[in-house]
Every structure is written in C-alpha cells, then in structure tokens.
Amino acid sequence: MFDNLSDKLDKAFHILKGHGKITEVNVAETLKEVRRALLDADVNFKIAKDFTTRVKDKAIGQNVLTTLQPGQLLVKLVKDELTELMGGDVAGINLSGHPTVILMSGLQGSGKTTFSGKLAHYLKTKKNKKPLLVACDVYRPAAIDQLHVVGGQIGVEVYSERDNNNPVSIAENAIKHAKSNGFNVVIVDTAGRLAVDEEMMNEIANVHKAIQPQETLFVVDSMTGQDAVNTAKAFNDRLDFDGVILTKLDGDTRGGAALSIKSVVNKPIKFVGTGEKMEAIDVFYPSRMAERILGMGDVVSLVERAQEQFDEEEARKLQKKIAKNEFGFDDFLTQIQQVKKMGNMKDLVGMIPGASKAMKDVEIEDDAFKHIEAIIHSMTPKERSKPSIIDVKRKNRIAKGSGTKIEQVNQLMKQFDQMSKMMKMMQGPGGKNLMKMMGG
C-alpha cells in the first residue's frame, strides 16, 4: 500500500540524517522532497504545495531547529498534516432511520457491488444488523446476478425486480419489503457507467430524492488517482454525498486519491476495500494510514485484528495442552489458520513498524504458509500429536508427500521446536508478565 510514496518520504527524511547540525536549508530541502513525493503519488499540485507550506509554517512556529531532535519533530509534523489531509478524525457511518437506507454511487468497475456486499457483511457480523441488498441496475442483468451471488456468499437477502425498468420504484418497493420483513438496513446498489454521464447522474439523483438515504456513499477505485478526484467532484456536485469508499487499496495504488479526495470534496473517507473477499473491508482511520505511509506501522489495527480472531475458549484449551506438553502440529495448524484469517501477509507486514521498509525487497507470497500446511498435512495423526517420533525416514516420506524438500521439513521441525519451547517458557513463573506485556 503506497509503497512508492513511503519510500520517497523516507528518502526525504534521510536528508536530515547524518547532519551534525540541521539548518534551515536542510529543512527546506526535505520539504521540497516531501512535495515531490506527494506529486509522484498523483496528488494535485496545489494540495501538495499547500501541504508543505503548512508543515513549514508549523516548523518555524515550533522552532524546529532549536529542538533536540529536529528530524523527529519534522516527521511528526508531516504525520499530523497527512492525517489532516486524509480527514483528521475517523468518520462513522450513520445508522439512524428505520430502516437505515444506504445508497451506493460510483462508476462501473469501481467496486460498488463488491463493496455493497462487504458493507452488508460488516453490518451483519460486526453491528448485529439485518441488512437487505437491493439491485437497482436495470441495464445489466449480469449486475443483478452478481449481487445475488454476493448475497449468497454472505447469507444476506437480495431484493431485485427483473421486469421492472424503473430504479426509483425498485428502490421504493425494496424499502417497503424491508419494513414489512424486519430488515433494519437497506443497501441500494445502483447502475454505474464507465464515465460520468448526464443520464446516469439524473437517474441516481432521482433515486436519491425518492428514498432520502441516511447515507449516500461514493465508491471510487483508488488506482485511478487524479481521475478519482474528478469523478468524486462530479458525483458530489449532484448528490452531495456523505462519505467516500476507497476500493482496491490492496493493489499498488500511488495514494493520490486517498490524499486528495478530502480536500476537494470535503467529505470523509469512511471505509476502504482491501481485496476481493467479503472480509476485505476496513474502517478508515486517517492517523493510522498516515503512520503506515511514513513506515511507522499500524500496531493498533494489527492488535485489533488479532483480537477479532482471538477465541478465549480455544486459548484456554491451548494453554492446557502446552502445560501438559501436548502441543502438536495440529495445534500449530490451527494457529496458522487464525493468523491467516487476519488478512494477507503483505498487509500484515505493512502494519509492523519498520517492517515494510526492511522487507521491501523480500517477495512475500500471498499464501506464505502453503508449504508449512502441505508438510503438516502429509504427516500421520500420530506424527502430528507426537512430533518426537519423526525420524529421518519419516521426514523423507513427509517431504515426498508434500512436494517439498527434506530441508524444508527440517526447518519446520526446528521452528516448531522453538515455538514449543517458547510457549513452555511463557507458562513459567515469569511468563504471566510476558503474556501481559503482549496484551494477553
């Protein structure tokens, strides 16, 4: 995510390192590089210029040069300013109304249908809501089918009327249907076009007027950079929407859309999409994103994701097993599956402070655990529960069965051994504190 921008900003701050005494010239040079980094990320020229002017003013105001660590202070000022640029505080979603009506807008291909599904899934699983998805695209039957597929995946009902070509009446009927069937959120997916056109704008404006949504969300593909900003402006002029959804943040987007949209339409980014799966939705936190961009990681999100996957019952069972020395490869597999549920590896590494930079050139496989899982699956149940019986002969068989090399099996055995030892240590007298330190 925003790798290139992170890289360039890191280089900009390098100017300040290695100087015994930092001068005004060094600071000006750094800020020039910061501005260049923003422009390279496809941030609008004026926004980038204003950005560095504000940082400079603050730096002068706070007498950066006379502080003990001017470099660090400057990084902080840039971080604060990036946070502001992306909206400052986190913006929640308005769930008032009976039912809450949410209208989705955006161009075709922006990820509107996928996001409608993600939002329904999020509201159902995290907010205990009963959402109804509504297909209002009267031009493309395939779009209706797609929403039905999405609804099927997440167990959410989809309302559609294939013979009705009036999106306003479909949306109104859907809300009636929701009211009489106990749905408390209605998410209306509308037709998109490949580019902004008058007919589409009129259509969505009519739907908007008729159903008076509590939330009108504008979905935009973050890969489209400056174009994203222009589209946002066109939609905002007509709909005066409430919030922005940035999709495809998992791709190698330069970051321009995320950094510019708030300044242009003055509407907050509420959620981001980070993948094709229904779980790949995140609430947008401007300060956490700023920290990630500056390579400071995002420990808060990482811990939150870990907590979401944390199952107390499972943890207790695991502790008992460790205490009795019964921790085996099946448990190891369960642990791996829990970590996998937290998201893809690249994304997780990006949340660890400094790791993104350190691992920049390391190819992180999408499925980093593939080999480990294959090896464990090739073990017999007995081998999994009592790894000490795995001798060279068995190792050879396991390597063959899993399509790996004996070195890989050896390496896994070694890792497993270390992990078991560490877990055992954490059970000991000092362990409780260690657990506490790790948030347990």
Which region among 77-85, 89-97, 270-278, 431-439 touches ligand GDP (by CB under 6 A)?
A: 270-278
- Two tokens at 425? 């240590």
State the minimum distance, in angstroms, from the CB of residue 255 to ligand GDP. Answer: 15
CA dist 375 and 369 (Å) reads 10
CA distances from 157 to 129, 151, 193, 252, 272 (A): 13, 6, 25, 34, 23
State the minimum distance, in angstroms, from the CB of residue 280 to ligand GDP. Answer: 6
CA dist 137 and 374 (Å) reads 44
250 marked as part of a ligand binding site: yes
State the minimum distance, in angstroms, from the CB of residue 219 to ligand GDP. Answer: 6
Q: Is 280 in the site for ligand GDP (CB under 6 A)?
A: yes
* Number of residues located near ligand GDP, criterion CB under 6 A: 18
Q: Is 253 in the site for ligand GDP (CB under 6 A)?
A: no
State the minimum distance, in angstroms, from the CB of residue 277 to ligand GDP. Answer: 9
Beta strand 215-221 with 185-189 is unpaired
**How many C-alpha atoms does 174 have within 13 Å on its Cβ side?**
34
CB atoms within 10 A of CB 318: 17
Position closest to ligand GDP via CB = 273
Choose which of 225, 273, 286, 297 interacts with ligand GDP (CB under 6 A). 273
State the minimum distance, in angstroms, from the CB of residue 245 to ligand GDP. Answer: 9
Q: Is 121 in the site for ligand GDP (CB under 6 A)?
A: no
Beta strand 131-135 with 243-247 is unpaired
Q: Is 108 in the site for ligand GDP (CB under 6 A)?
A: yes
Q: Among residues 197 and 326, whose Cβ is nearest to ligand GDP?
A: 197
Among 413, 418, 435, 438, smallest CA distance to 319 is for 435
Choose which of 192, 225, 243, 297 interacts with ligand GDP (CB under 6 A). 192
State the minimum distance, in angstroms, from the CB of residue 191 to ligand GDP. Answer: 9
190 marked as part of a ligand binding site: yes
Q: Among residues 47 and 219, whose Cβ is nearest to ligand GDP?
A: 219
Which region among 1-9, 11-19, 121-129, 268-276 touches ligand GDP (by CB under 6 A)?
A: 268-276
State the minimum distance, in angstroms, from the CB of residue 87 to ligand GDP. Answer: 19
Binding pattern for the stretch 148-187 against ligand GDP, x by CB under 6 A and - elsewhere = ----------------------------------------
Measured between its terminal Cα atoms, the distance across the chain in Å is 29
Q: Is 343 in the site for ligand GDP (CB under 6 A)?
A: no
CA dist 94 and 92 (Å) reads 7
Among 143, 282, 268, 283, smallest CA distance to 217 is for 268
Which region among 11-19, 107-115, 254-262, 313-321 touches ligand GDP (by CB under 6 A)?
A: 107-115
346 marked as part of a ligand binding site: no
**How many C-alpha atoms does 256 have within 13 Å on its Cβ side?**
20
- Two tokens at 120? 């329904």
- H or E element, residue 270: strand 269-273
Beta strand 185-189 with 158-159 is unpaired
311 marked as part of a ligand binding site: no
Q: Among residues 247 and 260, whose Cβ is nearest to ligand GDP?
A: 247
- Two tokens at 43? 């941030």
Among 81, 89, 95, 191, smallest CA distance to 134 is for 191
CA distances from 21 to 52, 61, 67, 90, 145 (A): 22, 19, 11, 38, 64
CA dist 409 and 399 (Å) reads 6
Which region among 38-46, 163-171, 244-252, 430-438 touches ligand GDP (by CB under 6 A)?
A: 244-252
Q: Is 248 in the site for ligand GDP (CB under 6 A)?
A: yes
State the minimum distance, in angstroms, from the CB of residue 223 to ligand GDP. Answer: 9
Among 260, 253, 304, smallest CA distance to 283 is for 304
CA dist 349 and 357 (Å) reads 10
Q: Is 251 in the site for ligand GDP (CB under 6 A)?
A: yes
Residue the block writes with tokens 């959402």: 131
CA dist 205 and 238 (Å) reads 7
Q: Is 141 in the site for ligand GDP (CB under 6 A)?
A: no
Which region among 119-127, 253-261, 273-281, 372-380 touches ligand GDP (by CB under 6 A)?
A: 273-281
Q: Is 276 in the site for ligand GDP (CB under 6 A)?
A: yes
Q: Is 255 in the site for ligand GDP (CB under 6 A)?
A: no
Residue ranges of the annotated binding site for GTP are 106-113, 189-193, 247-250
Residue ranges of the annotated binding site are 106-113, 189-193, 247-250
- List residues near ligand GDP by CB under 6 A: 106, 108-114, 192, 247-248, 250-251, 273-276, 280
